[in-house]
């Protein structure tokens, strides 16, 4: 059954999009990420204008993240205070990101920046995460005790001013690192059409040293706020949110997210991380490949006539 998208101005196969939303939603609930980094490339591949795909996705990511964050908060796995501070930074970042994306689109460099960001962030983070989680898995198989963390009190977190207590995460750290992290993720969220979970989750584990149990829920909480705002900004500033596209995706997405959040209980944290790392790495390499292989046609039509 085909459906015409009023903003993208093309027709798409509705059941296919719902199924796609469900698959990405499942992954989102399973790993505690928005799943946008998977969805954006697929939508663009389907011929949806990148600007519309990126903007409409934020609303899908907000929906599926909201669906799973409620599941996590019932199990008391969300640090709302930390999430709020990250989101505060995220809001600022989203404003800059939407403006930056607008300028990039007009310069015709949006594709390039998107491809480079994917290659860089997904590639590096995927590789690091894979390395770390495989190490953990191997050590557990051999029956070794997990390596103690070398530095229990990183200077970055404790030497900076404006310390704050985060009882849920059992932390007493400066608010500056979380805010900076939030801003950074907010900018990426607008440019890459992602929630930023794939950066937040490892950053919370390795940089902020948050307990693994609250990381996923807190990351989702931050993503809900940032992406909901991004979708309003994209609609208001660029008129690129396609409500029909977003609704199709989120119908599948919210259901998938619930199933994913349930399934996540059956896996060990490091196994999930290894799997996520692999997915992240592959998507990053696939997106970055376009930068290096010779294009079929040396010319491209650029969207965004002001």
Q: Which residues bind another protein (CB under 8 A)?
A: 2-4, 6-7, 9-11, 59-60, 62-71, 74, 103, 106-109, 111-112, 224, 228-229, 231-237, 239, 241, 243-244, 246-247, 250-251, 254-255, 257-258, 262, 290-295, 297-306
Alpha-carbon distance 126 to 69, whole Å? 23
Give first-to-last CA distance, the chain, whole Å: 33
For the CB of residue 230, give the shortest distance to another protein in the complex, in Å.
Answer: 9
Beta carbon nearer to another protein, 2 or 144: 2
Where do we find the tokens 């995706």?
Answer: 249
- The crossing angle, in degrees rounded to 10, of helices 50-74 and 110-117 is 40
Q: State the minimum distance, in angstroms, from the CB of residue 190 to another protein.
A: 13
What is the spatial distance between Cα 28 and Cα 261, in angstroms, rounded to a whole number?
Answer: 8
> Please, which residue, 155 or 265, has the CB nearer to another protein?
265
The CA distance from 201 to 206, in Å, is 9
In three-state secondary structure terms, 174 is strand
Task: Indicate the residue among 137 and 243 with the shorter CB distance to another protein.
Answer: 243
Please identify, using beta-carbon distances, which residue of 80 and 206 lies nearer to another protein: 80
Residue with the two structure tokens 């490339």: 41
The structure tokens listed for 130 are 């894979």
Q: How far is CA 82 from the centre of its chain?
A: 17
In the complex with another protein, the residue whose CB is nearer, 54 or 229, is 229
State the minimum distance, in angstroms, from the CB of residue 83 to another protein.
15
Rounded distance between C-alpha atoms, residue 118 and residue 105, angstroms: 17
Q: At what angle do helices 269-289 and 36-45 cross, to 10 degrees?
A: 30
Minimum Å gap between C-beta 297 and another protein is: 7
| 74 vs 268, beta carbon nearer another protein | 74
* All residues at 6 or more sequence positions from 58 whose CB lies less than 8 Å from its CB, including other chains: 36, 189, 190, 193, 195, 227, 228, 230, 231, 234, 241
Whichever of 175 and 225 has its CB closer to another protein, that residue is 225
Closest distance of CB 238 from another protein, Å: 8
d(CA 109, CA 171): 41
Using the minimum distance from each CB to another protein, give the nearer residue, 161 or 298: 298
From the CB of 288, what's the least distance to another protein, in Å?
Answer: 10
Q: How far apart are CA 160 and CA 179, in angstroms?
A: 12
CB of 154 to another protein, least distance (A): 34
Distance in Å, CB of 147 to another protein, minimum = 37
């Amino acid at each position: 059954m085909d459906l015409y998208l009023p903003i993208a101005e093309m027709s798409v196969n509705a059941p296919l999009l719902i199924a796609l939303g469900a698959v990405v939603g499942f992954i989102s609930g399973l790993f505690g990420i928005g799943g946008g980094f998977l969805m954006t490339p697929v939508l663009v591949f389907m011929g949806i204008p990148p600007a519309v795909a990126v903007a409409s996705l934020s609303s899908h990511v907000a929906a599926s993240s909201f669906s799973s964050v409620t599941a996590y908060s019932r199990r008391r796995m969300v640090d709302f205070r930390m999430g709020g501070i990250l989101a505060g930074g995220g809001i600022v970042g989203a404003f800059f990101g939407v403006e930056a994306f607008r300028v990039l689109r007009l310069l015709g460099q949006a594709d390039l920046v998107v491809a480079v960001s994917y290659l860089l962030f997904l590639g590096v983070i995927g590789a690091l995460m894979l390395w770390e989680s495989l190490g953990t898995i191997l050590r557990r198989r051999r029956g070794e005790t997990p390596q103690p963390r070398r530095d229990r009190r990183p200077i970055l977190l404790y030497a900076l001013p404006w310390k704050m207590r985060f009882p849920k995460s059992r932390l007493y750290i400066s608010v500056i690192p979380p805010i900076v992290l939030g801003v950074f993720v907010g900018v990426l969220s607008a440019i890459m059409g992602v929630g930023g979970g794939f950066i937040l989750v490892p950053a919370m584990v390795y940089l902020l040293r948050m307990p693994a149990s609250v990381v996923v829920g807190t990351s989702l909480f931050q993503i809900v706020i940032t992406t909901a705002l991004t979708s309003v900004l994209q609609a208001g500033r660029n008129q690129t949110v396609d409500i029909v596209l977003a609704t199709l995706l989120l119908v599948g997405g919210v259901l998938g997210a619930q199933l994913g959040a349930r399934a996540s209980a059956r896996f060990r944290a490091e196994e999930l991380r290894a799997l996520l790392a692999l997915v992240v790495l592959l998507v990053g390499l696939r997106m970055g490949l376009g930068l290096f292989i010779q294009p079929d046609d040396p010319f491209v039509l650029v969207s965004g006539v002001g």
